[in-house]
Amino acid sequence: MASGNATGQLVKAKLDFHDTELKNEAGLEFQFNPTEMTLSKSILPVPQKTASANAPDQQHVTGGPATLKLGTVWFDTFESGSSVYLKYISTLERMAHVDEDLHRPPHMVFMWGANFGAKVDQTPTYVWQLADFSVTYTMFLPDATPVRASCTLTLQEVPQKPGKRSSPDTAHVRLLQRGETLQGLAADEYDDPAQWRRIAEANDIDDPLRVTPGRRLLIPPILK
């Protein structure tokens, strides 16, 4: 087996259930020494038409989910003579199927070493769902019990609901883009579209429907 880290030593990794309802269930622990791992994430900006510009402005609306390809993972129960399917692969299948209570597949955190995860009771960098896995059984006992298997695993990020944004603590200026409204700015800055009047008053705007794109608007803070 090719060595993926500097020492060539296998380090335990774990897929742990992240859902509160499933935290008492055992996750999937395995020895891990990849030759490579691929983390990919797409950014999806939306072009905004801008007068007298060679290229449109880019407004970030959302990003695509991250994908983590773990490469090949090995499971071995030869020494104990137990079924590698019952000990390991059945848990993978559990992670890939819709949970009856959650009405979706379980969410998980991936932990490996110091840089690829966090404790389940802490906020992880990513929360994952099992997007794809493939199992190849490579050794059997005479009674047909499988005792060795290799798997390829792909995880996909589960978007987490953002926390409520706090209002800006200092005044700043924003350039109104085409298609933007005072209500939209208030929702973006204060998480409350009803605060558009605060922006209107700070900029002496009588009619919010007649504010033209390209105008610089002062965004005042909400003083506590």
Q: Which of 157, 182, 205 is the last residue of a domain?
A: 157
Q: Is 66 found in the same domain as 146?
A: yes
Which contacts (CB < 8 Å, 24+ apart) does range 75-79 have?
75/30, 75/148, 75/149, 75/150, 75/151, 76/147, 76/148, 77/147, 77/148, 78/139, 78/147, 78/148
Whether 213 contacts 185, CB under 8 Å: no
Residues 188 and 153 grouped into a single domain: no
- Note down the domain range covering 215: 172-219
Please check whether residue 45 lies inside any domain of the structure: yes
Helix (H, G, I), strand (E, B) or coil at 40: strand
**22-36 per-position pLDDT tens digit:** 888 889 988 887 778
Q: Are 126 and 139 within 8 A, CB to CB?
A: no
Mean pLDDT of 168-196: 82
Q: Same domain, yes or no, for 211 and 151?
A: no
**With 60 as the cut, is the pLDDT of residue 202 above it?**
yes
Whether residue 132 is predicted with pLDDT greater than 50 in this model: the reply is: yes
CATH number at residue 105: 2.40.30
Chain mean pLDDT for the chain: 81
**Per-residue pLDDT, 59:** 55
Neighbours of 36 (CB within 10 A): 9
In a shared domain, residues 150 and 193? no
Q: Is residue 166 part of a domain?
A: no
Residues 149 and 202: their CA atoms lie apart, in Å, by: 66
pLDDT category, 138, cuts 50, 70, 90? very high
Judge whether 11 and 33 are in contact, CB under 8 Å. yes
What is the percentage of the chain residues whose pLDDT exceeds 90? Answer: 33
Q: Is 62 inside any structural domain?
A: yes
Q: Do 106 and 55 reside in the same domain of the chain? A: yes
Domain end residue (candidates: 157, 189, 211): 157
Report the first-to-last Cα separation within the chain, whole angstroms.
61
pTM: 0.61
Q: Are residues 57 and 30 in the same domain?
A: yes
Q: What is the pLDDT of residues 58-113, one digit of tens each?
A: 655 556 788 999 888 889 999 999 999 999 999 999 999 998 888 889 999 988 87
* For residues 44-50, average pLDDT: 60
Count of domains observed in the chain: 2
